[in-house]
């Protein structure tokens, strides 16, 4: 059996210490996913460090540099299972330079205020991640850094 492909993504928030807004990115393609919202990110290339891959993907997709915060570990061996073929690792992140723009995979970006994070039609696999992220940041406390 082929191991799943690792995808990395950023939960871009307005403030790593006390997030009050989350950036959602609307898919442009493929047709089966178009119009649904997701965390920006992408596949890790063979031999590439996951955090380096995340910086590369966000620069390509949104044209910004990041400050990475805490990783939100998933229930599937530390990852979030997206499908039989893909697993995802997700980090809280803040924009360090630039202004996010939908450059490649997306046709719109939306900053969602706290309490409205689940008001857009997220990709099915991302719904439980958004819910977990909302619960983990609900108190306004910074997530503990597992390192």
The pLDDT assigned to 36 comes to 96
Mean pLDDT of 127-145: 75
Q: Residue 100: which domain range? A: 5-139
Residue 32 lies in a domain: yes
Residue 84 lies in a domain: yes
The pLDDT assigned to 145 comes to 46
Tally of structural domains, the chain: 1
Residue 36 lies in a domain: yes
Residue 147 lies in a domain: no
Q: Domain holding 61: CATH number?
A: 3.90.79.10
For 75, counting Cβ atoms within 10 Å of its Cβ (0-12 exposed, 13-18 middle, 19+ buried), the class is: exposed
Residue 145 lies in a domain: no
* pTM of the shown model: 0.90
d(CA 136, CA 17): 12
Query: What letter would DSSP give residue 134?
Result: H
Residue 85 lies in a domain: yes
pLDDT, tens digit, 9 for 90 and up, residues 33-75? 899 999 999 999 999 999 999 999 999 999 999 999 999 999 9
Q: In the beta sheet, which residues pair with residue 27? A: 106
The pLDDT assigned to 143 comes to 52
The pLDDT assigned to 104 comes to 86
């Amino acid at each position: 059996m082929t191991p799943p492909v690792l995808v990395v993504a950023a939960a871009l928030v307005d403030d790593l210490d006390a997030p009050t807004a989350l950036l959602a990115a609307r898919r442009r393609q493929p047709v089966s996913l178009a119009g649904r919202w997701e965390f920006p990110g992408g596949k890790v290339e063979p031999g590439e460090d996951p955090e380096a891959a995340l910086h590369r993907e966000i620069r390509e997709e949104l044209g910004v540099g990041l400050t990475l915060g805490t990783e939100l570990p998933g229930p599937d061996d530390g990852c979030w299972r997206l499908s039989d073929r893909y697993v995802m690792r997700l980090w809280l992140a803040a924009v360090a330079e630039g202004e996010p723009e939908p450059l490649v995979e997306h046709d719109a970006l939306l900053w969602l205020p706290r309490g409205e994070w689940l008001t857009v039609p997220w990709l099915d696999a991302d719904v439980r991640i958004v819910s977990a992220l909302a619960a983990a940041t609900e108190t306004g406390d910074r997530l503990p850094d597992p390192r």
